[in-house]
Structure 1
């Protein structure tokens, strides 16, 4: 997994970088086919903005979050990405295969 962290109008500190890496590992536990995550941290006047582009096999997910504190923005961002990953994982999962197996089992028991 590639992890890129970029800062606009702020310097990304080592503690911010480590915090993002911990959160990225949390995201990876749901979906292990993660290819690349690009985090952009930005300060706009008094608001802190965190956004991320998440590249998984066959899809790109995007989320952004605003907060008064950068760490709070990163937390909100990872929560949004977490929900998107779970939703994407459910879409990718093949439900038809399970239904076909149930139909075959049902016809075998009636014979």
Structure 2
């Protein structure tokens, strides 16, 4: 099914096969942009407001690289939209990190000994 280390958990949300498939499809692009990813943890939570009794969905993502961890969260009324937005935010963050790492290598100054 999936060879990439993606850990999915739900708080007050039942993690169905459709949710798993959606999360795995959305997060596959992260591994294409950064092969050094050790683990991706996704937490899906339903938060109910005390006054309106209306539920909102909170999606949190943790991407663990060697020596670095990224954390992103997204809160929306639709769980699938929150997963898509979370995936985009994580992708932007990882691409930004990769670009900065390459720029640091490209413009490195020699040490004057």
Distance in 1, Cα, partners of 2:44 & 2:90: 15
Aligned with 1:22: secondary structure? helix
Deviation digits for residues 53-106 of structure 1 (CA, Å, limit 9, x no counterpart) = 000122100100011110000011011101100111012211226x88xxxxxx
Aligned residue in 1 for 2:52: none
Aligned with 2:88: secondary structure? helix
What runs of 5+ residues in structure 2 fail to find an aligned partner?
49-54
- Mark the structure with the bigger radius of gyration: 1
Give the TM-score of the pair, scaled to structure 1.
0.83
More helix, by proportion: 1
Aligned with 1:10: secondary structure? coil
Aligned residues: CA RMSD:
1.5
Q: Does 1:42 align with 2:45?
A: yes
What runs of 5+ residues in structure 1 fail to find an aligned partner?
101-111
Hey, which bits of structure 1, 4+ residues long, moved more than 4 A? none
Give the TM-score of the pair, scaled to structure 2.
0.82
